[in-house]
């Protein structure tokens, strides 16, 4: 057993649980022991209870749970700046995809690369995520789109867990796009996903979730339902890219299928908002994507919150639409573009993300939770999203160990 550690003097401790004043603790301290939070409370009480503990002086700083990035596509080969150039000349993201670029450009590239090469490319990207406060990251496959390449990506994602301090959660996204050679027989591709990929992924226990990009131009509601139901039969929990650019009732389908989350939601309808609010599906917002694509259709965060939905913020890190693994920037946009409060943004990027990943043991600083925490060099929590694009981090502890 390790000696307990206590964090004292912080201007604020953000618990990650509440979006009102209960979520901001002043004059408080945290004790951690054996990789878990042992106690959170008034400094005098914690000092008395853990008299022999080593102290970490956090005077003038803010402590939050480690950030949980619940939506990334972090394993890929080359960057796709040529498309950025094309979009600057007026070509739309989905139009580039229809012409065989976009996701399929990454697919062509990934298929040529070895497992070890892709793994080495991903490692510094995960270090960058960590450097902006992320301690748990979800990573999707979806740049393989054939049985072997999808399994290759998921094996890499699982292997990454052994090579980084971050917790890595794998998601199978064989239905990211219809590969070019299946464009005139898409039914065959859906059957490949349901009858071959899903059983193989589940057989090797390579993923926790099954995701689908449901969007006009990608997968229809019927196809999405078939794929997510096949996934569930094999023990993969459903998740969707939903109503990103155009409304297609994807949020409603997420609620109906009891998905873990519905992600993007830039074009969610009122019915979709109500459906998500009544369900356990987390509404995961990915504003960096819209910023990067130069679009203005941000998800209606305020209406989702008012309706009672659980909201998460994630980075969507990928080479096409969000080429930076920075959840702090997502929080900034949550506040600047979607009118979330800084505390709501922090809760969305911690316990919201954890709920979207169905991880009960993190995203909050409460007794029993994993001791994943970030000490920020800021005077108050609003300064975290405010410091747009720069993460003023003093230190990160993961499972109780300083990184």
Which residues here bind ligand NIG, judged by CB under 6 A?
A: 73, 102-103, 106, 213, 241, 244, 289, 316, 318-321
Question: Strand ranges (DSSP E) for 247-346?
Answer: 261-264, 282-285, 311-313
**Count of residues interacting with Fe ion (CB under 5 A):** 1
Q: Smallest gap, in angstroms, from Cβ of residue 204 to ligand NIG? A: 24
Q: DSSP per residue over 117-164, as a string?
A: HHHHHHHHHHHHHHHTTEEEEEEE--S--SHHHHHHHHHHHHHHHHHS
Q: Smallest gap, in angstroms, from Cβ of residue 214 to Fe ion? A: 12
Structure tokens at 194: 């349901």
Question: Angle of helix 103-112 relative to helix 147-163, nearest 10 degrees?
Answer: 80
CA distance 185 to 102: 20
If the CB atoms of residues 179 and 320 are measured against ligand NIG, the closer one turns out to be 320
**Taking CB under 5 A as the rule, which mask of x and - marks residues 280-319 in contact with Fe ion?**
------------------------------------x---
If the CB atoms of residues 139 and 378 are measured against ligand NIG, the closer one turns out to be 139
Q: Smallest gap, in angstroms, from Cβ of residue 355 to Fe ion? A: 18
If the CB atoms of residues 50 and 172 are measured against ligand NIG, the closer one turns out to be 172
If the CB atoms of residues 77 and 319 are measured against ligand NIG, the closer one turns out to be 319
Q: Which does 289 bind (CB under 5 to 8 A by kind): Fe ion, ligand NIG, none?
A: ligand NIG
Q: Smallest gap, in angstroms, from Cβ of residue 73 to Fe ion? A: 6
Structure tokens at 125: 């990207």
CB hemisphere CA count around 360 (13 angstroms): 1
312-341 residues in contact with Fe ion (CB under 5 A) are: 316
Q: Smallest gap, in angstroms, from Cβ of residue 176 to Fe ion? A: 8
CA distance 71 to 316: 5
C-alpha distances in Å from residue 310, one per residue of 252, 263, 288, 301, 303: 15, 12, 19, 10, 11
Q: Which does 332 bind (CB under 5 to 8 A by kind): Fe ion, ligand NIG, none?
A: none
When CB distances to ligand NIG are compared, the closest residue is: 320
If the CB atoms of residues 36 and 295 are measured against ligand NIG, the closer one turns out to be 295
Q: Smallest gap, in angstroms, from Cβ of residue 192 to ligand NIG? A: 19
Q: Which does 321 bind (CB under 5 to 8 A by kind): ligand NIG, Fe ion, none?
A: ligand NIG
**Nearest residue to 273 via CA among 3, 125, 281:** 281
CA distance 38 to 30: 8
CA distance 387 to 155: 36
Note the helical H segments in 164-197: 186-191
If the CB atoms of residues 215 and 316 are measured against Fe ion, the closer one turns out to be 316
Q: Which does 352 bind (CB under 5 to 8 A by kind): Fe ion, ligand NIG, none?
A: none
CA distance 203 to 213: 23
For residue 401, the 8-state DSSP code is E
Q: Smallest gap, in angstroms, from Cβ of residue 299 to ligand NIG? A: 13
Q: Which does 209 bind (CB under 5 to 8 A by kind): Fe ion, ligand NIG, none?
A: none
If the CB atoms of residues 248 and 289 are measured against ligand NIG, the closer one turns out to be 289
If the CB atoms of residues 102 and 179 are measured against ligand NIG, the closer one turns out to be 102
Q: Smallest gap, in angstroms, from Cβ of residue 244 to ligand NIG? A: 6
Give, rounded to a whole angstrom, the gap between the first and last alpha carbons of the chain.
19
CA distance 157 to 162: 10
Q: Which does 23 bind (CB under 5 to 8 A by kind): Fe ion, ligand NIG, none?
A: none
If the CB atoms of residues 87 and 191 are measured against Fe ion, the closer one turns out to be 87
The strand pairing partners of 138, in sequence order, are 169
348-367 residues in contact with Fe ion (CB under 5 A) are: none
Q: Which does 244 bind (CB under 5 to 8 A by kind): Fe ion, ligand NIG, none?
A: ligand NIG
Q: Smallest gap, in angstroms, from Cβ of residue 49 to Fe ion? A: 44
Q: Smallest gap, in angstroms, from Cβ of residue 35 to ligand NIG? A: 33
Structure tokens at 27: 């004059």
CA distance 73 to 235: 21
If the CB atoms of residues 14 and 68 are measured against Fe ion, the closer one turns out to be 68
C-alpha distances in Å from residue 53, one per residue of 26, 27, 81: 21, 18, 51
> Are 14 and 341 spatial neighbours (Cβ–Cβ below 8 Å)?
no
Q: Footprint of Fe ion on this chain (CB under 5 A)?
A: 316
């Amino acid at each position: 057993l390790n000696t307990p550690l206590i964090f004292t003097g912080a201007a604020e401790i953000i618990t990650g649980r509440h979006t009102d004043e209960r979520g901001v603790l002043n004059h408080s301290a945290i004790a951690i022991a054996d990789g878990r939070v042992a106690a959170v409370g008034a400094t005098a009480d914690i000092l008395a209870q853990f008299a022999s503990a080593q102290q970490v002086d956090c005077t003038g700083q803010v402590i939050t749970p480690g950030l949980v990035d619940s939506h990334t596509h972090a394993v890929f080969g080359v960057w796709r700046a040529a498309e950025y150039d094309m979009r600057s000349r007026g070509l739309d993201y989905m139009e580039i995809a229809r012409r065989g670029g976009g996701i399929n450009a990454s697919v062509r590239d990934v298929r040529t690369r070895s497992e070890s090469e892709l793994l080495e490319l991903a490692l510094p990207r995960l270090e960058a995520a960590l450097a902006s406060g992320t301690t748990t990251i979800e990573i999707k496959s979806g740049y393989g789109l054939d049985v072997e390449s999808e399994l290759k990506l998921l094996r890499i994602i699982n292997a990454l867990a052994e090579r980084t301090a971050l917790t890595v959660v794998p998601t199978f996204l064989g239905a990211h796009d219809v590969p070019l050679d299946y464009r005139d027989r898409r039914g065959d591709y859906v059957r490949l996903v349901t009858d071959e990929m899903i059983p193989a992924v589940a057989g090797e226990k390579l993923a926790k979730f099954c995701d689908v990009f449901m969007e006009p131009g990608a997968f229809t509601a019927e196809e999405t339902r078939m794929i997510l139901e096949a996934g569930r039969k094999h023990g993969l929990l459903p998740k969707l890219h939903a109503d990103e650019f155009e409304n297609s009732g994807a949020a409603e389908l997420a609620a109906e299928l009891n998905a873990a989350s519905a992600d993007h939601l830039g074009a969610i309808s009122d019915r979709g908002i109500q459906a998500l609010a009544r369900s356990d599906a987390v509404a995961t917002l990915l504003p960096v994507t819209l910023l990067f694509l130069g679009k203005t259709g941000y998800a209606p965060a305020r209406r989702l919150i008012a309706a009672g939905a659980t909201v998460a913020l994630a980075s969507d890190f990928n080479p096409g639409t969000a080429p930076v693994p920075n959840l702090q920037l997502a929080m900034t946009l949550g506040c600047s573009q979607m009118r979330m409060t800084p505390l709501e943004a922090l809760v969305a990027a911690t316990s919201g993300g954890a709920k979207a990943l169905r991880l009960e043991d993190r995203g909050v600083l409460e007794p029993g939770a994993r001791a994943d925490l970030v000490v920020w060099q800021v005077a108050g929590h609003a300064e975290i999203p405010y410091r747009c694009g720069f993460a003023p981090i003093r230190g990160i502890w993961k499972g109780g160990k300083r990184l």
